[in-house]
Chain A
């Protein structure tokens, strides 16, 4: 699934890059793992949670599985790609495995480029007087919109926002070409913008 590409580890010159931390951890530096984990624990967890339709228990299970796999593979780690690409590839594979076990038919739909309309959600309340309430409503609406996205578009959006991956890296994680990823991401953004309306 992962395409290593021709990634040049220029970031290795800095000691605090993800790749440098992973190499230090592979050499026995446990503190490097703590730093690495602190950076990516939230993004990986949210990616899993949204991909699993907010199934928290399943997300926690897969989250632990991803990090344990990373720990077990530390001695084989080579800087052939960006660390986040490798990390989210493992997460993506766990999601695929999860859907194969529990909902096999959704594996097919995970790669579908569905271009359906955004879900008909309730209109944003425009007359909320309080800012906090407005923010909560905005967040809830956005989460609902993301959950309603087609899986492929949702995954592209999540990898872009939570993992900070570029189009090429998303393509590498998902096994698609760059143009397909770009299209998915554009559709996802358009739907979310339309769904959010004037809340943005």
Chain B
């Protein structure tokens, strides 16, 4: 393209632009101009301040942000450190009471007097589920530690745990048997030496007869009733039967050795509770010559059973001990016997 046509084109474009400027004079109306300018002023004065004009949006933004982060970090650090200081104590404070409250009663522990009157449903809510069958070691531990306390309580004549009562409420000679109960040796599952158990048993035997060492809750109520001693035997039997029903519904009944006919329904009703099979035998139960006690013995764990057999031997009940040992061998043919039982008597 030559220079002349380019200049001609440029001059024509310039002429066209000039002609356009002369031709086009349209303007917006003045009222619209005023409205738009007013809107612009109103937006500036009444609207939110732009980010750049904010007193915190300029040079102070970063320092203030850093300061805020530091303050928050320091606060969180102090809180965490303070919580760590008292962390273990507060943890035990929070964790221990529910555990103690919900744990099943140790075999020798002191039962609450009003607990037998609780309905079964409420009692089940208080007893946590037992995940597995208790091992003899587990059962022995609380029993061994709690039994001396039981002996002390018996000696002082204070309220005694209900599981020390070995007689059934429905049986007529129950009272007399309970009176003899403290004279019997301590529970066989205790890990204490036999001599020590004998001492404990003697201490229990020294308790005054007016204060029965192991009155069950139902019996305690019955004993506290006026005129209970003068009650006829028939009425007394009825009352004891009612007490037995209530006692079956209580938690303490679950923690107590029961006769076989009462034990099975209880197990069905509360399958997750501690199995009474591993419970230590109550004092007096081992000396009972009736068949129920033998059945109780057969329901014991092997080790507890063997302890009971040894106890029978110590008491001179050799025939009964031999009978129980035979039953034991039938039940547990492979269980190793202690040396005392292997030796001929």
Contact = CB atoms under 8 A, between A and B. Distances in A.
A81 interface: no
A24 B16 CA distance: 36
A200 B44 contact: no
Chain A interface size, under 10 / 10 to 19 / 20 to 34 / 35 or more: 35 or more
Given A49-B26, A196-B16, A67 B36 contact: yes
A10 B52 CA distance: 21
Interface in A170-200: 189, 192-193, 196, 199-200
Interface string B3-25: 00000000011011101111110
Given A37-B33, A49-B26, A71 B19 contact: no
A146 B24 CA distance: 11
Interface string A48-65: 011000001000100110
Given A60-B29, A142-B20, A192-B16, A68 B50 contact: no
B35 interface: yes
A42 B27 contact: yes
A45 B28 contact: yes
Contacts, number: 96
Contacts of A72: 43
Interface in B281-312: none
B27 A45 contact: yes
Q: B17, B23, B41, B53: which has the most chain A beta carbons within 10 Å?
A: B23
A27 interface: yes
Give the secondary structure class of B's interface. helix
Instruction: Tell me the interface secondary structure of chain A in the complex.
Output: helix
23 contacts: A26-B52, A30-B40, A30-B41, A33-B44, A37-B36, A37-B40, A41-B27, A42-B26, A45-B28, A60-B29, A63-B32, A74-B43, A75-B51, A138-B22, A139-B22, A139-B24, A142-B16, A142-B20, A161-B17, A162-B24, A189-B13, A196-B19, A200-B16
Top 4 nearest A-B pairs by Cβ distance? A139-B23, A75-B50, A200-B15, A33-B40
Interface of A: 25-30, 33-34, 37, 41-42, 45-46, 49-50, 56, 60, 63-64, 67-68, 71-72, 74-75, 135, 138-140, 142-143, 146, 161-162, 189, 192-193, 196, 199-200
